[in-house]
Amino acid sequence: MKKTQFIGIDLFSGAGGMSIGAKSAGITVKYAIEKDMYASQTYQANHPDTKVINSDIHNIKSIPNDLGKRISVLFGGAPCQGFSTSNRRTNNRGNSDNWLFKEFIRILKLWKPDWVVFENVIGIVEMESGAFFQEIVNDFENAGYTCSYDVLNASAFGVPQKRNRLFLIGSKHGKIINFSSCVKKTKVTVRDALIDLPDLENGANIDILPYSQKVDNKYALSLRRSLTQCTGHLVSKNADHVIKRYTHIKQGENWEAIPKRLMRNYADPSRCHTGIYHRLCENEVSVVIGNYRKNMLVHPWANRGLSVREAARLQSFPDTYIFKGSIGFQQQQVGNAVPPLLAQVVFEQIVKTG
């Protein structure tokens, strides 16, 4: 029996986390559209068989008609900073970025795929007491799609990170996705993810290094595969007074553990966000890997920030993945990405449903 072929287009693709998940589930990703130059370079370097269109989504006026008669999947997540519950200043209709989902709908109507997967932060559900999200659902339904949606926690599916993401799936043929059938996996800890990576110093800048040791935990082995060394061992260089703050923070603690005398440059330290200066717990899953440099996220057993590769491990990117641009752009790409293992779970449900 001939296997059904699936083909996809990745909108707002970023570095390509969702595309890794789609390909792992058996979907051929033909095109990716991404505005950011460095994220586009990262995507192309790791997905040579996918054509990357480095363009603002507003400039896309047509969809190539060379995709063949296969089950088609349009997927992606519009930039989500405006929907973040931690950023109240932009969590409203006045933020133009919050309307980029309309461009997603426009492309959907141009192509009319069999399936659509819209991913975003859970803040989009909470915005305006749910009215804004209902408007999005209505737009998908008015375009002819039956919708299923749920919030999935990445840590339940083999990602060493407590990261909740909304997935809205639409079917042009009236099919429903049963999220409760997604197979959950054993918890993977921060230690599982980082144990074999090299010991680094504050400001480490040697990109390619060998692994520090052999490991037998399945997670690390699944990401490093047959490699003996990998890229991404770049760490932001923090000032001495920041490193001194790190020394006071135990695993699981945050800025509140830092003596007040060391926080005098903050106008009011008591108003710091709970995620600031958080040291990861090695025997637990990580907190959200967002803008981990800005948040001063601390390595579990070293007094420094995370390397690009360590953050990528916590996001479930394979060690073969190469990130392009300066360290700041690489950090942003990793932090913004959808964990590939989480995306894979969603796409497997689509492939299984057919």
Residue-wise burial string across 129-149, b where 16 or more C-beta atoms lie within 10 A, e elsewhere? eeebbeebbebbeeeebebbb
Q: How many CB atoms lie within 10 A of CB 5?
A: 12
d(CA 207, CA 204): 8
What is d(CA 90, CA 331) in angstroms, rounded to the nearest whole number? Answer: 22
Residue 10 to residues 99, 147, 185, Cα–Cα distance (Å): 18, 19, 26
For residue 135, the one-letter residue type is E
Chain centroid to Cα 14, Å, comes to 9
Q: Which of 80, 230, 272, 281 is catalytic?
A: 80
80 classed as catalytic: yes
Beta carbons of 334 and 161 less than 8 angstroms apart: no
> 242-272 burial by CB neighbour count: b if 16+ within 10 A, else e?
beebbeebeeeebbeebeeebbeeeeeeeeb
Q: Which residues are catalytic?
A: 80
